[in-house]
A and B are shown apart, each in its own frame.
Chain A
Amino acid sequence: MNLPDWDNPAWSESLIRKIKQTAPRELRFMEVCGTHTVNMFRYGIREAIQPEVKFISGPGCPVCVTPTSEIDKAIWLSQQKDIIITTYGDMIRVPGSNGTSLRKAIAKGATVKIVYAATDSIDIAIKNPDKEVVFLAVGFETTSPATAILVKDVIQKGIKNLSILVMHKVIPPAMEALLKDEDIAIDGFLCPGHVSVIIGEKPYHFIPERYHKPAVIGGFKASEILYAIYRMVLQIAQGQPAVENAYRHVVRSEGNKNAQTLLREVFYIGDTEWRGLGRIPESGMLLKEEFSFLDVEKRFQIPELHSKDPPGCRCGDVLKGIIEPYQCPLFGKVCTPLEPVGPCMVSSEGSCAAYYKYGGKTI
């Protein structure tokens, strides 16, 4: 087989037309995946389907939802002699308390290596036996299996100088927290494509069953995104909200069983803190007791860092879609892509950064 070009303009144009024709009223949908946010801006989809359909960016970008306290821990660790931080590039510019960030820590001499895959951290640990490597394990269900494999590799290879700052989260509980919040008027969810590859359709069933709203799993190319949006609009027009897999060529309805087993072996689900959304029960992935020797917080005495969110930062309300980025008092003045205050401005296409670059001006 050779893969089609899912960016085929003819398909996208016909899907945009169908979305506009089928929408019974102006709809407010939320996407909960940073890659959906990025691609919808880059393709110009957000603008092409207005005013019939308006999208709000939800808490789907791992950088945006990581609490300041975790960022401060990562920065503190990076400043310790003999520690090498390995991390995905997304975390480099996230602001910690009082304007610190890994980027600024690097400029002052911290050793931070950007990895493409979590397991690259092992080669770095082997090459630097006298250093302690700390991997920043951030991300949702798509990325946590890679951390689970890293844990097993470390044990199997007997690596002694590697530990992990675990910050993994699961997305469905955050979606439910948003639905419970009355002042968030969302007509439906565009569900994250690759998280769904791992977890399948079942974890979203509460959305149509308890809240009577569509939950459609979408891919990331233009026609894949537009097809998922079209199915959401169709469900509302026919009054039949359901969980629907519009990314069938990649997502199996039961998810990836091997990945799910891996996750159950290494992590347990517990409460965790979401930036802007507060503490959400059963929404964090934590290392099981038998692997706690790999938990950096057990290996290092991390002092109390008195973390605090920057005053006036309303990333939380932006993440919930309660306010638009420009309604945040810091937006565009104190908080800009050059000097980001909140994570939604830091993440390359977090809703504030994307709005500052793509949305603020009319074209």
Chain B
Amino acid sequence: MCLGIPLKVVEISPPYAIGELSGVRQRIRIDMLPKVKLGEYVMVHSGFAIEKISEKEVNEMLSLFEEMSKY
């Protein structure tokens, strides 16, 4: 029930923003993330940004998986 896609915010004009991924630009609503900033990544579900993607957590997950796949 929640087909989502991570997009990078490249333009903001509340309540809309433009999210971008691999050359695809999509108009999204940011009503649920009023404090979103340019350059941040957001998870988008059927046209609505539902949460900001945390760079800190992404890096932690990345190193955890790299570590796990060593042994």
Residues of A within 8 A of B (CB): 1, 3-4, 8, 10-11, 13-15, 18, 33-35, 60-62, 88, 116-120, 139-140, 142-143, 145-146, 149, 192-195, 197-198, 220, 223, 227, 248-252, 256, 258-259, 262
* For the complex of A and B, 9 pairs with smallest distance between CB atoms: A117-B47, A194-B2, A249-B57, A14-B69, A142-B2, A11-B65, A1-B55, A248-B57, A249-B58
**Interfacial chain B residues near A4, Cβ < 8 Å:** 58, 61-62
Name which of B43, B55, B60 has the most chain A CB atoms within 10 A of its CB: B43
A352 to B1, CA, bound (A): 16
**Of B6, B29, B47, B54, which is within 8 A of A248 by CB?**
B54
User: Contacts A119-B29, A143-B45, A197-B43: A252 and B51 contacting too (C-beta < 8 A)?
Assistant: yes
A194 & B4 in contact (Cβ 8 Å cutoff): yes
A232 CB, nearest partner CB in chain B, Å: 16
User: Contacts A35-B1, A118-B46, A145-B50: A262 and B31 contacting too (C-beta < 8 A)?
Assistant: yes
B33 & A258 in contact (Cβ 8 Å cutoff): yes
Residues of B within 8 A of A (CB): 1-4, 6, 29, 31-34, 41, 43, 45-48, 50-51, 53-55, 57-62, 65-66, 68-69
Q: 9 other contacts beyond A13-B69, A118-B47, A248-B54, with CB at 8 A cut-off?
A: A1-B41, A3-B58, A14-B68, A35-B3, A145-B50, A149-B31, A194-B45, A198-B50, A256-B32
User: Contacts A193-B2, A251-B51: A149 and B29 contacting too (C-beta < 8 A)?
Assistant: yes
A248 & B61 in contact (Cβ 8 Å cutoff): yes
**Interfacial chain A residues near B41, Cβ < 8 Å:** 1, 3
A1 to B52, CA, bound (A): 13
Name which of A13, A250, A256 has the most chain B CB atoms within 10 A of its CB: A250
A248 to B29, CA, bound (A): 23
A34 & B1 in contact (Cβ 8 Å cutoff): yes
Name the CB-closest residue of A to B31.
A149
Name the CB-closest residue of A to B59.
A1
User: Contacts A11-B69, A15-B68, A249-B54: A149 and B60 contacting too (C-beta < 8 A)?
Assistant: no
**Interfacial chain B residues near A227, Cβ < 8 Å:** 61, 65
A258 & B29 in contact (Cβ 8 Å cutoff): no
**Interfacial chain A residues near B43, Cβ < 8 Å:** 194, 197, 250
**Interfacial chain B residues near A192, Cβ < 8 Å:** 1-2
Name which of B6, B32, B68 has the most chain A CB atoms within 10 A of its CB: B32
A10 to B2, CA, bound (A): 26
Name the CB-closest residue of B to A245.
B57
B1 & A60 in contact (Cβ 8 Å cutoff): yes
A145 to B32, CA, bound (A): 8
**Interfacial chain A residues near B6, Cβ < 8 Å:** 3
B68 & A11 in contact (Cβ 8 Å cutoff): yes
**Interfacial chain A residues near B31, Cβ < 8 Å:** 145, 149, 258, 262
**Of B1, B4, B53, B68, which is within 8 A of A249 by CB?**
B53
**Interfacial chain B residues near A35, Cβ < 8 Å:** 1-4
A119 to B58, CA, bound (A): 31
**Interfacial chain A residues near B51, Cβ < 8 Å:** 197, 250-252, 256
A102 to B53, CA, bound (A): 37
**Interfacial chain A residues near B33, Cβ < 8 Å:** 256, 258
B60 & A142 in contact (Cβ 8 Å cutoff): no
A249 to B61, CA, bound (A): 8
**Interfacial chain B residues near A8, Cβ < 8 Å:** 65
B62 CB, nearest partner CB in chain A, Å: 5
**Interfacial chain B residues near A11, Cβ < 8 Å:** 65-66, 68-69
B45 & A142 in contact (Cβ 8 Å cutoff): yes
